[in-house]
């Protein structure tokens, strides 16, 4: 279970990105974090794996308090948190296989990783995951040869090979077309279900959020303004999160109409 | 969306805002620069007569170069060239080996401030002195010969390579670095997986470029006693063996061009 208590973050510029977040996510739950740009979504998930250091508050993951960890303990804790990024964040000049195996860096020593001699079990798992996401035979390709959707699949493999307890997903579909977006979101969801993973998914797209998650948390100016079921996102709630707009076309009955989607 | 015919009320001309907004400052700088350049040019005495007098002398000098004499009568030419190549290679390798840790330390996004400042000072120190000054020091310390040249070129390489490495590291894509950090990688693994792949192609290109610079410099520092082809060239000049000097110059040009070609080819391959 992931538990945030009074989480605050103030940047050097003096601006408060998070103004006291309390959030409890039970094991195996997938939540969508929605909100306008600058609401603090990215900061929130980066506080969890400490790519950003929170100003105050606590974060507990399965009983471990994350905000006060020493750098060695932090590296151990990071192994159990997989992260998927908006622009895929693959190391472009490395091969697909190296990118996937980089998810094991926290588990192997320097020389093994330097010589690319990962344990047999890790290599097997990497091939299995690539196969699972539909990228068999791509292992030797360089990451920058792949399409956007393919890169994001590699990003997913890199996160999963860490064998994480928690998945932190930052705008996974922001650089993808609508069809690929749905495929990627479905894949992430299926994988979470297969492994019983807890996940926080930052996403702009309200429609996708409703389609793929059990719970929605709305963030605005660093505070939680909505926490509830996808069905509860009424025009009033969306106005509270994003501001005044015509929301009637955004909220649709949640159906899986992947192929007929017209943007 | 208003498409009615109100266009008359909009201005029809537009100009890019000037780079320096204050017109007084702007024109002051332009006029000041023009006045200074005219004055500077006026100060330099260009004596047409002296130039004309020098031309035939230059022609005699050039004539003495031809035909170049590759015969190498005293058997020192090839020795000097091999020594220069040896000096250039060793000093490039040693220089780069020393540059890598300094370059890592001089990258603002990797190192804490005090390491950053220390490494930047080393680089600045190395860059302050041209290779020829470093060579004069080295010759004073270690005596005549290629060892002094090797020391001078290695030190010169640090200022060049570490600075460019640090700047390249400062320009890497931060998300790729972030992604590797998020996996729980150690610092060295992070350098190896996130930083190295991003800077490697440019570093390979720069290494060959530096090899080429070190080879050319070895011709200059030989003149102050740093060994190599420069020493041979200097001797040839002082013995008025201009045909041998021409041969040496042609060989230097050929080697530099070969290196230039190799570095272009390598850079394309590793991109």
Average pLDDT for runs of 10 along chain A of length 263 = 89 88 90 88 91 90 88 90 90 93 92 92 93 89 90 92 92 86 90 90 88 89 88 82 77 48 41
Residue B192 CA neighbour count, 13 Å, CB half: 16
- Report if residue B260 sits inside a domain: yes
Q: For residue A115, give both structure tokens.
A: 């010589």
**Total residues found in chain A within this entry:** 263
Q: How confident is the model at residue B72 (pLDDT cuts 50, 70, 90)?
A: low
Q: Which positions 54-93 of A are in contact with B (Cβ < 8 Å)?
A: 75-79, 81, 83, 85-87, 89-93
Q: Largest Cα–Cα distance of chain A, in whole Å?
A: 57
Chain A contacts of B188, Cβ < 8 Å?
A: 110, 114
Which pLDDT score is estimated for A261? Answer: 42
- Report if residue B189 sits inside a domain: yes
Which pLDDT score is estimated for A244? Answer: 78
Mean pLDDT of chain B: 86
Alpha carbon B257 to its chain's center:
16
How many Å lie between the alpha carbon of A159 and the closest alpha carbon of chain B? 8
**Per-residue pLDDT averaged across B74-96, rounded?**
86
Locus of tokens 């393919």: A150
- List CB contacts of A51: < 8 A, sequence separation 6 or more: B178, B181, B182
Domains of chain A, residue spans: 1-80+164-254, 90-163
- List CB contacts of B58: < 8 A, sequence separation 6 or more: none
Cβ pair A103:B175 closer than 8 A: no
Could you give the CA distance from residue B215 to residue B217 in angstroms, rounded to a whole number? Answer: 5
Which pLDDT score is estimated for A122? Answer: 93
A116 touches B at CB < 8 Å: no
How many Å lie between the alpha carbon of A146 and the closest alpha carbon of chain B? 16
Nearest to A108, CA basis, from A116, A96, A100: A116
Question: Quick one: DSSP state of residue A65?
Answer: E
- Structural domains of chain B, count: 1
- Report if residue B93 sits inside a domain: yes
Using H for helix, E for strand and C for coil, what is the string for chain B?
A: CCCCCCHHHCCCCCCCCCCCCCHHHHHHHHHHHHHHHHHHHHHCCCCHHHHHHHHHHHHHHHHHHCCCCCCCCCCCHHHHHHHHHHHHHHHHHHHHHHHHHHHHHCCCCCCCHHHHHHHHHHHHHHHHCCHHHHHHHHHHHHCCCHHHHHHHHHHHHHHHHHHHHHHHHHCCCHHHHHHHHCCCCCHHHHHHHHHHHHHHHHHHHHHHHHHHHHHHHHHHHHHHCCCCHHHHHHHHHHCCCHHHHHHHHHHHHHHHHHHHHHHHHHHHHHC
Angle at A115 between CA A110 and CA A118, to 5 degrees: 75
Angle at B175 between CA B174 and CA B176, to 5 degrees: 95
Beta bridge partners of A64: A61
B195 pLDDT more than 90:
yes
How many Å lie between the alpha carbon of B198 and the closest alpha carbon of chain A? 7
Q: Which CATH class is domain A1-80+164-254?
A: alpha beta
Could you give the CA distance from residue A182 to residue A190 in angstroms, rounded to a whole number? Answer: 12
Cα radius of gyration rounded to whole Å, chain A: 19
Could you give the CA distance from residue B165 to residue B200 in angstroms, rounded to a whole number? Answer: 9
Residue in chain A nearest B198 by alpha carbon: A93
Of B175, B185, B198, the CB nearest to A105: B185
Could you give the CA distance from residue B241 to residue B235 in angstroms, rounded to a whole number? Answer: 8
B220 pLDDT more than 80:
yes
Q: For residue A239, give both structure tokens.
A: 């106005």
Lowest mean pLDDT among A6-10, B2-6, B49-53, B189-193: B2-6
Helix (H) or strand (E) holding A73: helix A71-79
- Report if residue B34 sits inside a domain: no
Chain B contacts of A92, Cβ < 8 Å?
A: 173, 176, 197-198
Q: For residue B31, give both structure tokens.
A: 């006029």
Which pLDDT score is estimated for A251? Answer: 63
Locus of tokens 């220390």: B118
Helix (H) or strand (E) holding A99: helix A96-101
Could you give the CA distance from residue B103 to residue B111 in angstroms, rounded to a whole number? Answer: 10
In b/e form, how buried is each residue of B13-46, taking b as 16+ CB within 10 angstroms? Answer: eeeeeeeeeeeeeeeeeeeeeeeeeeeeeeeeee
**Per-residue pLDDT averaged across B218-247, rounded?**
82
Cβ pair A106:B176 closer than 8 A: no
Cβ pair A91:B192 closer than 8 A: no
Burial (CB < 10 A; 0-12, 13-18, 19+), residue B156, is: buried
Q: Is A240 helix (H, G, I), strand (E, B) or coil?
A: helix
Cβ pair B179:A85 closer than 8 A: yes
pTM of the predicted model, to two decimals?
0.80
Distances (CA, A) of B59 to A1, B49, B55, B62: 88, 16, 6, 5
- Report if residue B217 sits inside a domain: yes
- Report if residue B88 sits inside a domain: yes
- Report if residue B49 sits inside a domain: no
B183 pLDDT more than 80:
yes
Question: Quick one: DSSP state of residue A106?
Answer: T
Which pLDDT score is estimated for A116? Answer: 92
What is the ipTM score, two decimals?
A: 0.87
- Report if residue B48 sits inside a domain: no
Which residue range forms the structural domain that includes residue B196? 81-270
B165 pLDDT more than 90:
yes
Which pLDDT score is estimated for B270? Answer: 72
Of B176, B189, B198, the CB nearest to A105: B189
**Total residues found in chain B within this entry:** 271
CATH number reported for the structural domain that contains residue B218 in this entry: 1.10.3720.10
A144 touches B at CB < 8 Å: no
End-to-end CA distance of chain B: 48
């Amino acid at each position: 279970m992931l538990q945030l208590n009074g989480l605050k973050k103030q940047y050097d510029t003096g601006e408060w990105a998070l103004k006291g977040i309390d959030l409890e996510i039970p094991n195996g739950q997938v939540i969508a974090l929605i909100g306008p740009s600058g609401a603090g979504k990215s900061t929130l998930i980066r506080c969890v794996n400490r790519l950003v250091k929170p100003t105050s508050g606590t974060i507990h993951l399965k009983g471990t308090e994350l905000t006060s960890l020493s750098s060695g303990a932090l590296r151990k804790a990071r192994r159990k948190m997989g992260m998927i990024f908006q622009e895929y964040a693959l190391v472009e000049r490395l091969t697909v296989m190296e990118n996937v195996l980089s998810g094991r860096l926290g588990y192997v020593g320097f020389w093994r990783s330097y010589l690319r001699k990962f344990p047999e079990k890790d290599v097997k798992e990497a091939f299995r995951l690539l196969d699972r996401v539909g990228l068999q035979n791509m292992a030797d390709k360089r990451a920058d040869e792949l399409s956007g959707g393919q890169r994001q699949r590699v990003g997913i493999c890199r996160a999963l090979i860490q064998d994480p307890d928690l998945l932190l997903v930052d705008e996974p579909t922001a650089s993808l077309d609508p069809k690929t977006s749905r495929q990627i979101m479905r894949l992430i969801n299926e994988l979470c279900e297969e492994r019983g993973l807890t996940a926080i998914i930052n996403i702009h797209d309200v429609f996708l959020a409703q389609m793929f998650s059990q719970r929605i948390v709305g963030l605005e100016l660093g505070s939680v303004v909505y926490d509830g079921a996808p069905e509860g996102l009424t025009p009033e709630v969306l106005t509270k999160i994003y501001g005044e707009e015509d929301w009637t076309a955004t909220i649709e009955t949640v159906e899986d109409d992947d192929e007929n989607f017209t943007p | 969306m208003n498409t009615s015919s109100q266009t008359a009320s909009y201005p029809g001309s537009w100009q890019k805002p000037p780079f320096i907004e204050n017109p007084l400052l702007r024109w002051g700088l332009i006029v000041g620069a023009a006045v200074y350049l005219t004055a500077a040019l006026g100060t330099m005495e260009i004596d047409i007569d002296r130039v004309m007098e020098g031309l035939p002398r230059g022609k005699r000098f050039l004539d003495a170069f031809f035909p170049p004499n590759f015969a190498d009568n005293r058997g020192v030419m090839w020795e000097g060239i091999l020594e220069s190549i040896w000096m250039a290679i060793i000093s490039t390798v040693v220089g780069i080996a020393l540059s890598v840790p300094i370059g890592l330390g001089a990258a603002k996004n990797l190192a804490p401030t005090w390491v950053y400042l220390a490494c930047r000072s080393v680089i600045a120190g190395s860059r302050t002195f041209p290779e020829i000054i470093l060579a004069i020091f080295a010759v004073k310390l270690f005596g005549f010969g290629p060892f002094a040249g090797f020391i001078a070129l290695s030190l010169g390489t640090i200022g060049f390579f570490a600075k460019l490495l640090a700047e390249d590291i400062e320009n890497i894509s931060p998300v790729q670095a972030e992604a590797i950090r998020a996996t729980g990688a150690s610092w060295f693994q992070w350098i190896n997986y996130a930083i190295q792949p991003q800077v490697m192609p440019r570093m390979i290109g720069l290494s060959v470029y530096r090899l080429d610079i070190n080879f050319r410099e070895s011709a200059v520092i030989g003149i102050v006693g740093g060994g190599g082809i420069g020493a041979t060239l200097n001797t040839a000049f002082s013995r008025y063996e201009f045909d041998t000097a021409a041969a040496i110059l042609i060989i230097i040009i050929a080697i530099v061009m070969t290196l230039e070609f190799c570095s272009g080819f390598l850079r394309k391959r590793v991109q």
